[in-house]
């Protein structure tokens, strides 16, 4: 098999379909896990800070 033999669009579509199925099955456990909630909280505050700083710089 060579690189030319691989249908990359079909491969990515299959990977995405698998990821969506796993996400659908595991979403409740994932969204309620402490690592996810901690990461979400940290990223939320980082987003707020960068939005504020960006507005200070670009909204003048």
pLDDT tens column, 8-34: 999 999 999 999 999 899 999 988 999
Domain ranges of the chain: 3-58
Rounded to an integer, what distance in angstroms lies between the CA atom of residue 47 and that of residue 52?
Answer: 8
Per-residue pLDDT band for 58 (boundaries 50, 70, 90) equals low
Per-residue pLDDT band for 5 (boundaries 50, 70, 90) equals confident
Cα-based distances in Å from 21 to 17, 25, 30: 6, 6, 14
Q: Is the pLDDT of residue 60 over 60?
A: no
Q: Is the pLDDT of residue 50 over 60?
A: yes
pTM as predicted: 0.48
* CB contact at 8 A, 36 and 30: yes
Q: Percent helix, strand and coil across the chain, each rounded to 5?
A: 85, 0, 15
Rounded to an integer, what distance in angstroms lies between the CA atom of residue 10 and that of residue 15?
Answer: 9
């Amino acid at each position: 098999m060579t690189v030319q033999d691989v249908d990359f669009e079909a491969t990515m579509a299959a990977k995405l379909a698998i990821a969506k199925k796993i996400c659908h099955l595991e979403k409740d456990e994932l969204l309620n896990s402490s690592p996810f909630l901690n990461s979400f909280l940290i990223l939320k505050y980082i987003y707020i800070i960068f939005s504020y700083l960006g507005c200070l710089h670009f909204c003048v």
